[in-house]
Structure 1
Amino acid sequence: MTTSSTTGVTSVDLRTPGQLLAALPHLVGFLPVDSLVAVVHNGASANRVGCVLRADLPPPGAELELAHRLRTPLLAGEPAGVTVVVVGGTGARQEAGPPYAEFVDLVTSMLGELGIPLVHALWVPKIHTGQRWRCYDEPDCGGRLPDPASSVLAAVSAHAGLVTYASREAMEEQLAPDDDVVLARRAALLDAAVDAFATTPGSRGTSAGKAFAVVRTALVRAARGELGFSDQEIAELALALTVTEVRDACLALALPPGGARATTAERLWLVLVRATPEPERAEAASLLAYSAYVRGDGPLAGMAITKALDAHPGHVLAGLLSQALGHSMPPDRLAKLGGTCDAAPLWGPDDDGAPPPTRGSPACGPG
């Protein structure tokens, strides 16, 4: 199989069920527990890993609802086949075989109705070295899991700077906001910054030129690994990201997905999601969601979208991203949004850390 990495397309052998199961934490982004995972295979020979879907195992009576929820995202992935995996569910295990067998049969039937071949139906109690995995449809099919941390995909992910979290909760924790007292202090500074900046119509209190300069300087610092910002700098950055021209240029920074500039920008957005008070937090959270989405990190994108809409329920970009995720829009299609924008006012053609000259950015993206 092949899977995308931030350095391009890297060939990783996932042909055996054990190898595929050991790769799940790196494909999902965190260690799945009590989960249904659907791995979409693409290509004429179903020899490429496409999208990977994960959901909590359904409680009794909710199996059909979850199966229906999987239909749209599975079809959006243009599958040549699907591997269905149940991780955990041992509380519902029956001696006759792996747990959730009826649910797996339901999902398999749905795949058949959609004309999607089933590649494997697998169960493993947890993703851990030496755990015994089994097949649902072949009693003698099974094996033991290799070390997930020592796999080729683990090495590829680490080299690309991707973090595999111990749990979904651990992934979400990275978006936890700073202390309320600190956020209140920054909110007051943000209000003061609105009056301090020169105003232009529609820019919510700061000129585009000054806003570009603020974000550009922060990106240069982030590229050097300097991600500590004062309260005043956080306030100025939060205000700058509300400028439509700046926000659009920031979208372009996500391309190419997983590239050096995209990674630097995403680290900055992550810092700002934690550091920025509401409702301005929605700006950085939306940019983080877009960057994560176009590089294929659906879980992080979904968490960032939630943060954005919690901070600002009517935020236009967050709302559009939420719809795209809900309809399983392929990342390459969503990347076209950033492709119509110009990142040059934020980052020039050279990565030497020198700020490029300020110039206008064509309008793009939602207003």
Structure 2
Amino acid sequence: MTTSSTTGITTVDLRAPGQLLAALPHLIGFRPADSVLAVVHSGSSASRVGCVLRADLPEPGHETGFALQLEQPLLAGEPGGVTIAVVGGDPPEQGTGPPYATLVGALTAVLGERGIPLVHALWVPEIREGARWRCYDEPGCGGRLPDPDSSVMAAVSAHAGLVTFASREEMAEQLAPDDEPALSRRAALLDVAVDLLGVTAEPGPALLGRAFTAVRAALARAARGELTFSDQEIAELAIALELADVRDACLATALPPGGPRAATAERLWLALVRATPKPERAQVASLLAYSAYVRGDGPLAGMAVERALEAHPDHVLAGLLARALAHAMPPAKLAKLGGTCDASALWGPEDEEEPPTRGSPPCGPG
């Protein structure tokens, strides 16, 4: 099976079930636990990993409804085949099959009704070196996991500069807000600034010019690795991003996905998600979610959407992205939104070196 990057195609052999299980953390960005994952294989021979859908294990008795909820996201990946992997549960007793067989049966039935081949159905208690894995549908099929941190997939991810987190919770910590006193200071500054600047739905040229200048300067600093801003700067950036023209230009910074400009902008949005108070946090969290989504990072996109809707439950862009994630809209289709916008007002001269991106995008929020 292969994974792709902006630097070309890197072939990683994941045909062995143990190798595929060990690669899961690097495919989704964190080590899954108590999870069910559907690895969508693309291509006529189902020889490529197209995307990976992850969800928490359902409560007993809810397996059929859970499988039906996953049907549409799975179909959106246009699968040539699917591998189901269950991570969690106690090891089976001698002579019995792996746990969560009812869940696997429900998922297999949904796939069968749609004519989608089941490539493998696998179980492992946790993703760690030496963990014993089993097959659901092949007696005697099983083995022990290789070290996930020493695999070829781990090396490819590390070379690409991608971080694989120890857990979903650790990944979510990236978005943890700054301390409350700092956020309160910035909220007060925002209240004063909005009144002084007279921010309206149709801002004048002076305000727009100032807003573009603030975001352009912040992007330039982010490109140099400078991601610490004063309270005043954060307030100015929050106001700038609320302006529709500036927001649209910022959406366009996500393209091409994984390029140097997109990576710079995403680092800035990530820093500002932590630094910006409610409800303005929703705007920058939505920009982060969009950038992550179009480059195939479903888990980060889902977490950013959650942050956005916590900050502003009626935020329009966040709601759009939440629906896109729920229906597993292909990233390339969503990228058309940013493609209608122009980011040229935000950039100066820049190094054109293209960093790699995570190759096999998750299908949904993870």
TM-score, normalised to structure 2, is 0.92
Amino acid at match of 2:208: A
Deviation at 1:196, TM superposition (A): 4.3
Secondary structure (helix, strand or coil) at the match of 1:49 reads strand
Q: Does residue 147 of structure 1 match 2:147? A: yes
Q: How does 1:109-120 map to 2 (within 5 A)?
A: 109-120=109-120
Partner residue in 2 for 1:268: 268
Amino acid at match of 1:159: H
Q: Does residue 244 of structure 1 match 2:244? A: yes
Q: Say whether the 8 Å CA contact 2:283–2:308 is kept in structure 1.
A: yes
Q: Say whether the 8 Å CA contact 1:198–1:206 is kept in structure 2.
A: no
Q: Residues 277-326 of structure 1, C-alpha deviation per residue, up to 9 Å, x if partnerless?
A: 11100111000000111111111111111111111111111111111111
Q: Residues 171-199 of structure 1, C-alpha deviation per residue, up to 9 Å, x if partnerless?
A: 11111111111101001111222244475
Deviation at 1:141, TM superposition (A): 1.2
Q: Distance in 1 between matches of 2:275 and 2:9?
A: 34
Q: Say whether the 8 Å CA contact 2:123–2:136 is kept in structure 1.
A: yes
1:206–1:299 CA distance, 2 compared to 1 (3 A): farther
Secondary structure (helix, strand or coil) at the match of 2:242 reads coil
Q: Does residue 351 of structure 1 match 2:350? A: yes
Secondary structure (helix, strand or coil) at the match of 2:119 reads strand
Partner residue in 2 for 1:358: none
Partner residue in 2 for 1:212: 212
Q: How does 1:149-188 map to 2 (within 5 A)?
A: 149-188=149-188
Q: How does 1:1-367 map to 2 (within 5 A)?
A: 1-90=1-90, 93=92, 95=94, 96-197=96-197, 201-203=201-203, 207-348=207-348, 350-351=349-350
1:258–1:110 CA distance, 2 compared to 1 (3 A): same
Q: Which has the higher contact order (CA 8 A, sep 6+)?
A: 2
Q: Say whether the 8 Å CA contact 1:41–1:79 is kept in structure 2.
A: yes
Q: Say whether the 8 Å CA contact 1:25–1:164 is kept in structure 2.
A: yes
Greater mean alpha carbon deviation, residues 8-17 or residues 97-106: 8-17
Q: Say whether the 8 Å CA contact 1:186–1:231 is kept in structure 2.
A: yes
Q: Distance in 2 between matches of 1:9 and 1:206?
A: 47
Q: Residues 250-285 of structure 1, C-alpha deviation per residue, up to 9 Å, x if partnerless?
A: 111111111111111111101111100111001110
TM-score, normalised to structure 1, is 0.92
Partner residue in 1 for 2:362: none
Deviation at 1:135, TM superposition (A): 0.9
Secondary structure (helix, strand or coil) at the match of 2:325 reads helix
Q: Say whether the 8 Å CA contact 1:5–1:156 is kept in structure 2.
A: no
Deviation at 1:137, TM superposition (A): 1.0
Q: Residues 317-351 of structure 1, C-alpha deviation per residue, up to 9 Å, x if partnerless?
A: 11111111111100010011111111100014x30
Amino acid at match of 1:88: G
1:54–1:212 CA distance, 2 compared to 1 (3 A): same
Amino acid at match of 1:63: E
Q: Say whether the 8 Å CA contact 1:302–1:325 is kept in structure 2.
A: yes
Q: Distance in 2 between matches of 1:336 and 1:198?
A: 32
Greater mean alpha carbon deviation, residues 64-73 or residues 191-200: 191-200
Amino acid at match of 1:84: I
Q: Say whether the 8 Å CA contact 1:200–1:207 is kept in structure 2.
A: no
Can you give the 5+ residue segments of structure 2 that lack an aligned partner in the other structure? 353-366
Q: Distance in 2 between matches of 1:127 and 1:259?
A: 31
1:69–1:201 CA distance, 2 compared to 1 (3 A): closer
Deviation at 1:205, TM superposition (A): 11
Query: Aligned residues: percent identity?
Result: 72
Q: Residues 150-171 of structure 1, C-alpha deviation per residue, up to 9 Å, x if partnerless?
A: 1222122222222111111111
Can you give the 5+ residue segments of structure 1 that lack an aligned partner in the other structure? 354-367
Greater mean alpha carbon deviation, residues 156-165 or residues 32-41: 156-165
Deviation at 1:66, TM superposition (A): 0.9
Q: Distance in 1 between matches of 2:335 and 2:254?
A: 8
Aligned pair count reads 351
Amino acid at match of 2:350: D
Amino acid at match of 1:41: H
Q: Distance in 2 between matches of 1:68 and 1:89?
A: 22
Deviation at 1:207, TM superposition (A): 1.5
Q: Distance in 1 between matches of 2:195 and 2:302?
A: 34
